[in-house]
Amino acid sequence: MSHWIIAPILIPALAGLFLLMEVRERHRLRRWTGLAACVASLVVAVLLVQQAWDGTITVYKLGNWEAPFGIVLVLDRLSALMVLLTAVLAFPALIYASCGDDRKGANFHGLFQFQLMGINGAFLTGDLFNLFVFFEVLLIASYGLALHGRGPERVKAGLHYVVLNLVGSGLFLLALGLIYGTTGTLNMADFAVKAQALTGSDATLLRVAVLLLWIVFGLKAALFPLYFWLPAAYAGATAGVAALFAIMTKVGIYAILRVATLAFAAGPFAGLGQEALWWLALVTLAMACAGVLGAKRLATAVAYLVVMSVGTLVATLAAGEAAALGPALYYLIHSTLICAALFLLADLVARGRGDVGDQLVAGPAILGGGRLSLLFFIAAIAVVGLPPLSGFIGKVGLLRTVADPLFWALLLIAGLCGLIAMSRAGSTLFWRTTGESAGLRPSRRRLLAVLMLLGLSPVMSIWAEPLLQCAGAVAEQLLTPQLYIQAVLGGAA
């Protein structure tokens, strides 16, 4: 079973190469190739979760080179969970995109698969340099996807996204150079061991390197003041792409969580940068509240809800409460799936209203508005955290485990702002109608994609207790970094 670890990287990589070689006019073949790759990735992700869930940490040595000298992929409960979440998200996102959005530009399906390759690689790698490599893979693919469909709005938003992430890539390389210069390694487990022995100027340089890492990961996660690129880029992308992008911020959060718990949970560098992350996360949460209330389009409001989830999650992690990690992982899954569903819903609303699109102004009645209004109502309840859906359960778990009154106040205010914004959007889009629409009726396949994502919220509510127990098991393993270090380095640890 150990060779299956590389499958979430190989499947989209091979599918992407095949899609680039296919004749562009054969749209049907390209769609089926992409969907088949997503189904295969989903099956493999389920197998990997089963493999990891007994607590075994599996290390895959590329070229059979021993760590820390060789490249390794590491499968533990957290990486398996994130790979599964990616696969669950990608399939309905691609179904939606295959209803016509994929034909708005060249090589959509190939870029989509390379994006999945980069995301899965970032979750599985045990090496900081290869984390950089997979970041670059997913970012290069995301540049093409963000601009897919063309248009001045997409180009402008995409340009900001590209420039900021290029700067982030440069800072990442600088941080890696400092880390290698001080510790002599980029293997995460080996770095966690050697960092504890540094003193003097080497320790100072490492602190600088780690703070640079937090800046880079904060940019990927869209943390204040580096989140301004996200609303325009996500709202301007086609719906299927925006839905997939819902997990992009979680890659940055995953990187913060992995490095912090592995190397900086104890020792002389314990809690390095934690207080700064705490305050930046709270400011992110506050700014997202202002953004969602001031949004003029439904897609923009959803993008600010993504930023809101980032602030919530990073603040929870930076609070340093071990008991909060399980509910945070539950909330991470919930927010990713629901925000992705809302991006698809925003596009259905825009199609149903004709030229007015998803602008939050009075406009023509939406074709198929009855079904869409029901789906929007369910999604709104879930995303703002009202009972009985998964958002409520996740937020209650966070409030029970993080006792800080400022966090409580901001989280509750954020929920209220989200409720006001979604209520305003719903009443404007579905009630304030001014005549018949010239828009399009939602197709069954598009509705199916929305239902696949949205239906997971009640599933997460019904099975909340076992899911929270599973999230707790992931947190327990993550908070025992010696297990990871021993699995990777073996007798060298």
The pTM of this model reads: 0.92
The answer on pLDDT for 1 being more than 60 is: no
Average pLDDT over residues 91-120: 89
| pLDDT at res. 157 | 66
| pLDDT at res. 92 | 95
| Radius of gyration of the chain, Cα coordinates, nearest whole angstrom | 22
Work out the angle at residue 344's Cα, subtended by the Cα atoms of residues 338 and 348, and round it to the nearest 5 degrees.
135
pLDDT digits (tens, 9 = 90+) for 154-163: 676 667 778 8
DSSP 223: -
The answer on pLDDT for 50 being more than 70 is: yes
**Rounded Cα–Cα distance for residues 223 and 325 (Å):** 19
The answer on pLDDT for 23 being more than 60 is: no
Point out the least confidently predicted range of 182-191, 250-259, 268-277, 302-311.
268-277
Most confident of 229-238, 369-378, 459-468: 459-468
pLDDT digits (tens, 9 = 90+) for 307-358: 999 999 999 998 888 888 999 999 999 999 999 999 999 999 888 887 788 8
The answer on pLDDT for 403 being more than 60 is: yes
Q: Cα dihedral sign for 353, 354, 357, 360? A: negative
**Rounded Cα–Cα distance for residues 309 and 342 (Å):** 14
Asked if 256 contacts 274 with a C-beta cutoff of 8 angstroms, the reply is no
Asked if 173 contacts 132 with a C-beta cutoff of 8 angstroms, the reply is yes
The answer on pLDDT for 16 being more than 80 is: yes
385 φψ region: left (φ > 0), alpha (ψ -120 to 50), beta (else): left
Average pLDDT over residues 87-91: 96
Asked if 284 contacts 312 with a C-beta cutoff of 8 angstroms, the reply is no
| pLDDT at res. 312 | 94
| pLDDT at res. 91 | 95
Average pLDDT over residues 486-490: 86
| pLDDT at res. 423 | 93
pLDDT digits (tens, 9 = 90+) for 145-155: 888 766 666 67
* b/e burial code for range 421-452 (CB count within 10 A of at least 16 → b): bbeebbebbbeebeeebebbebeeebbebbbb
pLDDT band for position 80 (50/70/90)? very high
pLDDT digits (tens, 9 = 90+) for 436-475: 766 778 888 999 999 999 999 999 999 999 999 999 999 9
| pLDDT at res. 471 | 92
Domain-wise residue ranges, the chain: 282-479
The answer on pLDDT for 63 being more than 80 is: no
pLDDT digits (tens, 9 = 90+) for 267-320: 777 777 788 899 999 999 999 999 999 999 999 999 999 999 999 999 999 888
| pLDDT at res. 271 | 76
The answer on pLDDT for 71 being more than 90 is: no
The answer on pLDDT for 491 being more than 70 is: no
